[in-house]
Structure 1
Amino acid sequence: MILSLLILIPIVGAIVIAFVPRDQDNMIKWLAVGITALALLVSLPLYFNFQDGVSGYQFEEIRPWIPALNIGYHVGIDGLSLFLVLLTTFLTLISVISSWTAITDGLKEYMIFMLLLEAAVIGVFVSLDLFLYYLFWEASLIPMALLIGKWGGARRIYAAVKFIIYTMAGSTLMLVAALVLYVNAGTSDLPTLVSTLNLSQNLQIILFFAFALAFSVKVPLFPLHTWLPTAHTEAPTAGSIMLAGVLLKMGTYSYLRFAIPLFPDAVAYWSPMLVTLAIIGILYGALVALVQDDVKKLVAYSSVAHMGFIVLGTFSGGQQGMSGAVLQMVNHGLSTGMLFFLVGVLYEQRHTRLFSEYGGIWVKVPIFGTYFLLAVFSSVGLPGLNGFVGEFVILLGTFSVNPIAAALGTFGIVLAAWYL
């Protein structure tokens, strides 16, 4: 029941805010903070009651949804999704707080979309039915696009439309592949599909491509990344926090949750290409970030590089690399979320995102400078900080399988230290 409650809390909260008079800005803000704080508090028992070492899913809920078609409401979490749910509830609260003074026009609708986005993302991370998962996957697109298109920068409409086109193009193929699975198995329940599905290798290769394309757009994996810098540059601060912190993780999470378990025979076929694209993304993202003066664009291209690391760990061929990928999903969400939060604070004060205009900040506000430096070092992967652990485990796991890929990935870390 707790997982359904986590999805319902922001939805009910959005409905409550919808009935608040438009001129009651303070009430809307406090309601949004209270609702997201409640969701965070409700998510904490997932961590404290989670049983390590227990195989299978925990906190499962299985109910009929469309019985005539054998489609059910099935949610649950394991070690992969647990921390992503916690990350979502935490970053949504931070995003709402970051909007306290930044959003003045259309505050009511803004907070409604933030809450609906939280519900959709949590739904993605806990869904264990293909069609339920797809419903939440598509539902996350709408509020994110509206947040960019309504409260973004000068090119916000272009950024929102580009985001929609890229995401929809990928998810359409995923829906077709999901329907093929359903027709073959007679069910859309993920655990049942994984345990009973028996597809030919050629069909697995085709279906893996359809799923992986949708996930790679969301990551985004080179060369499907071009929507991300535009979206980050134009999105409001909270939109960037949610986009980098949790929405990108929907792609890498879905590789591990759906693509790899459902199509094991296709993984070996597609892994070399995905590892190659991940390495290109790591190096390309780092090199382009080197020449950026706009801090949001810099962090956006650094995200392309960091997400490339996660894809590298996922498909490097070892369990250790996958473990590092899961760690890095959470660590990247925290460090990049913190960077975008601090950039938003700077923008409110200076009304610019250009590094060349940020001179003297350390002297004037040393505490802010300390936090910013901490976020940068975490993003770079400095030993002793959270960003180091995931990248180190990924490289360690990759080195045992593909030393050349590990060496190129290490060079990407060196470049990251340079541009940040």
Structure 2
Amino acid sequence: MSPWLPILMAVPVVGAIVVALLPKGSDKLAKQVTLLVSLAVLVLTGVMAAGFDPDGDRFQFTAAYNWIPSFGVKFGVGVDGVALVLIALSAVLVPIVVLASWHDADGVKTADGTLITPKRSVKTYFSLLLVLETMMIGVFAATDIFLFYVFFEAMLIPMYFMIGSYGGAQRSYAAVKFLLYSLFGGLLMLVAVIGLYVVAGKSTFMFPELVGAIQDPTMQKWLFGGFFIAFAIKAPLWPVHTWLPDAAAQAPAGAAVLLVGVLDKVGTFGMLRFCLELFPDAAKAFTMPIVVLAVISIIYGAIVAIGQTDMKRLIAYTSISHFGFIVLGVFAMSSTASSGAALYMVNHGFATGALFLAAGFLIARRGSPFIGDYGGVQRVAPVLAGFFLVAGLAGLSLPGLSSFVSEFMVMIGTYESQAHGSGALTAAAVISAVAVILAAVYILWMVQRTMNGPTAEPVKAFKDLNAREIWVLAPLVALIIGFGFFPKPLLDVINPSVHQTLTNVQVPVSTIAEKGTGQ
């Protein structure tokens, strides 16, 4: 058994306890300890990832400890390629969010000194960040399905308090809505997890042992439904998406990055791993209805984003469109599309994270999330305007930036998956391409209204990004550009895991994902 994953989960928890126990008035020290712990997790994750063998066993760094022996529940962890890149995404984003949130709990002031949000407990906020990091690592690392469910639900707790205690004016409403939607999905998933355990008759919840255990097509459909609805809410997929714009708009910018950039990926990750592999016949039976929902999400999210006047709500609706692409790639069941979907999960985290943080820096200076309250920012804060532009271009999947590679793979893979007997997927790929045009509209419109034109009077007092804020955005932009030109390191890790998934679903694996595609 490998100790890597238990250590990765333990370090943030220990850090959270240390931060919480610091003496009163140690706010600066609490921030420094949190940043140090998150950087330690990043380093440990990098060292672990360096030892991952894409051509070796599917699940590596495995460990399993008896937890509830009477029911066969184990604290079982391990990572395949897809889980590894998502854990790495979490490890990268957390220290960036810590640095970006340095003053979020101190009380946010506008450029003229107006207090937007009051001072709240700094130690609690940064402790919650570290606890959330443990949950994010755990949910992607869990190979015991019951343990996965526990982390799936436990993630809600720190995020609920981060939104409800540190968010905007409507934070209580947004936090409760987020919690209720997620708990409803979690309840359905719990019923399905119990049903899987009973019907399989394996006396275990370990995922590798349950693959292929349910043969009855009708039972597969019922259990698939419980898992899929929970994941669709988490993703979120239209029509169970309405909690996201409220939660993302009211959450602090850093919390919004982790919510949209990582937590929501648990939904699409769950679809790729659990829905496809545990219930392959049901997944094939429901492919076209789910593809329709994905295409609606793609177009709906893009159209509604165009009409938004609040920057954070606009970014949230663009994410609904992006998640539609990811779901489309998962259920196209093509090697290219599925690898593109997994890559999209990572690239979306970087691009949307950068856009949320740049928007957060704007809002902290002006005190308003409304696009119409800005104008001419590039004249007084050219560095901020430049980062905002690059993040926005990544959001519309400009060629040369990382999102383009994954979106292109999803559309091409969906189009070519007509070879598996579903010509309707060709139409889905063509329709989804319309979102490329719509993305240019909502992103360029937002950039033009905020960055260009006459300088609004309150904007004239803006200061450009300071060193801390540059350190927040520069790594994300570097990753966006780097993986835009050279996605091979990620695809080399992702492809074998995706191929194994499609093999378990008994879908012929094409070799397109192994050719070209920017590698």
- TM-score scaled to structure 2, two decimals? 0.80
2:84 corresponds, among 82, 94, 100, to: 82
What SS does structure 1 have at the residue aligned with 2:104?
Answer: coil
Cα distance in 1 for partners of 2:29, 2:209 equals: 46
Question: Which ranges of 4 or more aligned residues in structure 1 deviate by more than 3 Å?
Answer: none
Residue in structure 2 matching 1:389, options 392, 395, 405: 405
Aligned AA (2:439)? A
Task: Name the CA distance, whole Å, in 2 between partners of 1:178 and 1:155.
Answer: 34
Secondary structure, aligned partner of 1:74: strand
Equivalence for 1:313: 329
Which residue does 2:305 correspond to in 1? Answer: 289
Instruction: Identify the residue that residue 439 of structure 2 maps to in structure 1.
Output: 416
CA distance in 1, matches of 2:308, 2:192: 39
CA distance in 1: counterparts of 2:363 and 2:21, whole angstroms: 32
The whole-number CA distance in structure 1 between the counterparts of 2:254 and 2:55 is 36
1:120 aligns with 2:144: no
Indicate yes or no: 2:347 matched with 1:345. Answer: no
For residue 50 of structure 1, the aligned residue among 49, 52, 55 is 52
- Is 1:168 the counterpart of 2:183? The answer is yes
CA contact 2:94–2:133 (8 Å) conserved in 1: yes
Is the 1:88–1:118 Cα contact (8 Å) retained in structure 2? yes
Structure 1: how far apart are the matches of 2:208 and 2:329? 24
The answer as to 2:281 corresponding to 1:279 is no
1:40 aligned partner: 42
Matched with 1:110 is 125
1:194 counterpart = 2:208:
no
Match of residue 227 from structure 1: 243
Between stretches 186-195 and 223-232, larger displacement belongs to 186-195
1:158 corresponds to which letter in structure 2?
Y
CA distance in 2, matches of 1:215, 1:232: 18
Instruction: For residue 324 of structure 2, give the secondary structure of its aligned residue in structure 1.
Output: helix
Structure 1 residue 98: Cα displacement: 1.1
1:73 deviation in Å? Answer: 1.5
Residues 263-278 of structure 1: matches in 2 within 5 Å?
263-278=279-294
TM superposition shift of 1:94: 1.1
Could you tell me how far apart the structure 1 residues matched to 2:54 and 2:222 are? 35
> What is the alpha-carbon distance in structure 2 between the residues aligned to residue 31 and residue 52 of structure 1?
34
Identify which of 66, 70, 73 aligns with 1:71: 73
Residue 21 of structure 1: how far off its partner (Å): 1.6
* Amino acid in the other structure paired with 2:440: A
AA aligned to 2:164 is G
Equivalent residue of 1:199, what SS? Answer: coil
Given that 1:46 and 1:82 are in contact with CA atoms closer than 8 Å, whether structure 2 keeps it comes out as no
Deviation at 1:257, TM superposition (A): 1.5
The letter for the 1-side match of 2:17 is: I
Question: What is the alpha-carbon distance in structure 1 between the residues aligned to residue 141 and residue 377 of structure 2?
Answer: 42
Gapped runs of 5+ residues in structure 1? none
Q: CA deviation at 1:46?
A: 2.5
Shift of 1:62: 1.7
- Give the superposition deviation at 1:306: 0.3
SS in 2 for 1:187: coil
Letter in 1 for 2:5: L
Give the SS at the match of 1:154. coil
SS at match of 1:103: helix
Instruction: Give the whole-Å Cα distance in 1 for the aligned partners of 2:297 and 2:272.
Output: 19
Q: Is the 8 A contact 1:102 1:348 kept in 2?
A: no
Q: Deviations over 1:146-191 (max 9, x none)?
A: 1000001111111011001100001101111111111223210100
Equivalent AA in structure 1 for residue 186 of structure 2:
S
Q: Say whether the 8 Å CA contact 2:336–2:410 is kept in structure 1.
A: yes
Q: How far 1:91 moved relative to its partner? A: 0.8
2:74 alignment partner, SS class:
strand
Give deviations 1:46-90, integer Å, cap 9, x for gaps. Answer: 321111222420111122222222211110011111110010011
Letter in 2 for 1:310: I
**What CA deviation, in whole Å up to 9, does each residue of 1:33-57 have, x standing for no partner?**
1111111111002321111222420
| Separation of aligned partners in 1, 2:391 and 2:217 | 44
- Please report how far the alpha carbon of residue 221 of structure 1 lies from its aligned counterpart in structure 2 after TM superposition: 0.2
Matched residue type, 1:417: A
Map of 2:509 onto structure 1: none
- Measured against aligned partners, the alpha-carbon deviations of 1:370-397 in whole angstroms (never above 9, x if no partner) come to 1111111111110110010000000000
Alpha-carbon distance between aligned partners in 2 of 1:22 and 1:194, rounded to the nearest angstrom: 51
Partner of 1:210: 226
Instruction: Classify the secondary structure of the residue corresponding to 1:76.
Output: strand
Residue 153 of structure 1 is matched in structure 2 by 168
**1:394, 1:54 → 2: CA distance?**
26
Equivalent residue for 1:378, pick from 362, 375, 394 = 394
Which structure: larger Rg? Answer: 2
* Structure 1 position 179 matched with structure 2 position 194: yes
- 1:262 maps to 2:285: no
RMSD between aligned residues: 1.0
Residue pair 2:214, 2:278 contacting (<8 A) in 1 also: no
Structure 2 unaligned blocks of 5 or more: 107-119, 419-424, 444-519
Identity fraction in percent: 42
